[in-house]
Structure 1
Amino acid sequence: MKAIIQRVTNAKVILNDEIPVSISNGICVLVGFHKEDTLKDLEYIVKKILSVRLFTDDNNKKWQNSVMDKQLEVLIISQYTIYNGWKGNTPDFHKTMDGEKSQEFYTKLIDLAREMYDPEKVKDGVFGIYRQLYLENDGPVTFQIDSPPSCREEK
């Protein structure tokens, strides 16, 4: 499993000229599922998303607080293309989890994040449909997190 985490001052999803979800300060997370991911991958990624220290503390010291420490919002968006490979100049998605299973994993990821944090602060970026994402990256700060292969070893 892979997550791209961006520290944002705001982010929103636009779907058919409407904004079904938006956040202010916090993180926008794009998640992609590998075809061999397990529930251990989900748990690992959710814990990381919520605990990575991307924010300054009250003494203005950088990299000291997580999104939970600061009680900020989290927008999670499924991103099928994260696990692409290449065949020449053409994207190849043979490593990506299929749609039905991806939707199941995405729903579990949202549910787990809401269980581990404030459910009101975890926003669902709408699964599997064409949409636009607008965000204002703060910093800019962007990190990639991959679940370790050891999560997939026990099936």
Structure 2
Amino acid sequence: MRAVVQRVLRGSVTVDDTTVGQIDQGLVVLLGVGQGDTVDDARYLADKICQLRIFTDEQGKLNLSVQDVGGGVLAISQFTLYGDCRKGRRPGYSKAALPEEAKELYESFVQRLICNGLPTATGIFQEHMVVEIINDGPVTLLLDSNKIF
């Protein structure tokens, strides 16, 4: 499972000209589910994201988590994180999970964020979404549950 995590001042997602999810200060998480990913991957990433210390403290150091600052999470499913661009000009998505599988794990990820006490907004799975992100910093991290050291 892969995630692009961005610290934001605010973020929103719109489907068919209707805002379906939005947050103020917090994190926008673009989440891709790969073949072979499990609920354990979803739990690992959700827990990791909740505890990432990427917000500044009173000394200006990155010492606070999204929980510490009372922020929210906007979680957006994004299978294109598994796009393979090494050959040709059109990405291949053979390593992305099938939609039914991906939806279940995406929902597990979102539920784990909620269980961790984070206000969580989402997009709509498999819909065309317009995502607005006002980056803060910018601070952007790439996480991959399969690259655990």
Shared fold, TM over 0.5: yes
Q: Distance in 1 between matches of 2:17 and 2:121?
A: 19
Amino acid at match of 1:101: E
Same amino acid, percent of matched pairs: 34
* 2:72 aligned with 1:81: no
Larger helix percent: 1
Q: How many residues align?
A: 147
Give the corresponding residue for 2:52.
52
Amino acid at match of 1:96: A
| 2:120 matches 1:108 | no
* Structure 2: runs of 5 or more not aligned: none
Corresponding residue number in structure 2 for 1:29: 29
Aligned ranges for residues 111-126 of structure 1 at < 5 Å?
Answer: 111-118=111-118, 121-126=119-124
TM-score (normalised: structure 1): 0.90
Paired with 1:38 and 1:73, the residues of 2 have a C-alpha distance of: 24
Q: How much has 1:61 moved relative to structure 2? A: 2.9
Q: Deviations over 1:11-36 (max 9, x none)?
A: 11111111111111111000001111
Alignment gaps of 5+ in structure 1: 151-155
Report the counterpart of residue 61 of structure 2 in structure 1.
62
Cα distance in 2 for partners of 1:48, 1:112 equals 11
CA apart distance, 1:149: 5.2
Distance in 2, matches of 1:24 and 1:105, equals: 25
Per-residue Cα deviation, 1:42-69 (whole angstroms, up to 9, x for no partner): 1110011111111011x23321000011
Deviation at 1:112, TM superposition (A): 1.2
**Misfit runs of 4+, over 2 Å:** none
* In structure 2, distance between residues paired with 1:51 and 1:123: 18
Summarize the alignment of residues 136-155 of structure 1 with structure 2, pairs less than 5 Å apart: 136-148=134-146
User: CA RMSD of the aligned region, Å?
Assistant: 1.2
Calculate the TM-score normalised by the size of structure 2: 0.94
Q: Is the 8 A contact 2:47 2:112 kept in 1?
A: no
Q: Is the 8 A contact 2:11 2:134 kept in 1?
A: yes
**Counterpart among 114, 132, 135 of residue 134 in structure 1:** 132
Which whole-Å deviations, capped at 9, do the CAs of 1:117-137 have from their partners, x for residues lacking one?
24xx11122211001001101
